[in-house]
Amino acid sequence: MNKPMIFQSNLFMLISSLALVLGFAFDLNANPYGLLMTLVFVVLLGVPHGSLDVLFASQTYDLRHIKHWLKFIAYYMAAALAVILVWWLVPNAFFIVFLILSALHFSDDLNLSGFTLLKWSDGAAIISLPSVFFGHELIDLYAMIIHIDIATSIVKTSQLISIPAGLVIAFYLVTKKIDLRTKLELFCTCALFLLLNPILAFGIYFCGMHSARHLIRSRYFLRQFTRQAFLNALILPTIAVILMGLVIWWLGPKKPLEIDLIRIVFVGLAALTVPHAWVLKQSKFQAHRTR
Ligand SMILES: CC1=C(/C=C/C(C)=C/C=C/C(C)=C/C=O)C(C)(C)CCC1
Ligand SMILES: [Fe+2]
């Protein structure tokens, strides 16, 4: 592990522990600004990791001319729009596929290569553990995106999935097969998703682990780009995404603020996750990334 990643790892564990202690001391669910603040963090710190896709694409597809860039942006947007269309047409199937894709995508965050079963269990735990103690909250949240009956079935299925996932993780935590730091990261991740309210747990994990670690790994993978190009790639598409979100909010049908925010942020994330995961897969980032 390189120095920036050790720092990120320590920070993630510190923030998770603090949030867990504070979560027990105060009722974080009762804070009306909690949701808003978490979503602001998710957008400002989480979206930039996807924003870097422009550099991954530039490196993978050798985008040199404006024509190539326009074509890439058109494909990326078309994929995102296609996801939104699928959400419209078959919201339930869309949501289930999105959760599975998210589990697979998050399973690349910790250094678990060589431990396929543990990797999948980690991804499955991230998605399923909130259902164990926060089942009702999770149903309410999912019901903002899909029909409440399907939300209930998904949460019940998640509760079942959390058992084998939790058992596999527990097994690896007590044996000596993985290193101590990875064990601690895994433990914090599970504690977060098991014990904190789902949105807060997601916000901390998405910003403090998924996005932060991706940015660090990317800086090594995308060495050919200058610091300025890296910063531009972080900022400009993020601004474009925020503007698009605002336009959709402005034009779209109005529901209570909380529902609007959850829908736009999570359907937006889902829409972007498909081309995002695709670009990363094409770039062979997984195979080359610095550990
Ligand atoms: C929908 C939803 C949730 C799940 C979100 C997921 C699974 C997001 C995945 C994002 C990805 C994969 C980004 C890629 O970089 C929560 C937070 C549990 C509760 C609120 C509603
Ligand atoms: Fe990602």
Q: Quick one: angle between helices 257-282 and 91-106, nearest 10? A: 60
Q: Given the CA of residue 214, which atom of ligand 1 is nearest to it? A: 15
Distance CA 19, CA 28 (A): 9
Give pLDDT tens digits for 238-258: 999 999 999 988 888 778 888
Binding-site members are 49, 105, 210, 214
Question: 175 alpha carbon to ligand 1 midpoint, in Å?
Answer: 30
Give the ligand 1 atom nearest the CA of 101. 12
Q: How much is the mean pLDDT over the chain? A: 91
Closest-lying ligand to the alpha carbon of 269? Answer: 1
- Ligand 1 atom nearest to 142, measured from its CA: 21
Tokens of 135: 């089942």
- Residues with beta carbon inside 6 Å of ligand 1? 50, 99, 102, 105, 127, 130, 141, 145, 198-199, 202, 262, 266, 269, 273, 276
Position in ligand 1 atom list of the atom nearest CA 98: 7
| ipTM for the complex shown | 0.93
Residue 291 pLDDT exceeds 60: no
As given in the structure block, the two tokens for residue 281 are 């897969």
Per-residue pLDDT tens digits for 166-192: 999 999 999 988 999 999 999 999 999
Identity of residue 32: P
What is the whole-number distance in angstroms between the Cα of residue 7 and the centre of ligand 1?
A: 25
Instruction: Give me the percent of the chain exceeding a pLDDT of 90.
Output: 70
What is the maximal distance between C-alpha atoms in the chain?
A: 56
Looking at ligand 1, which residue's alpha carbon is closest to its atom 15?
273
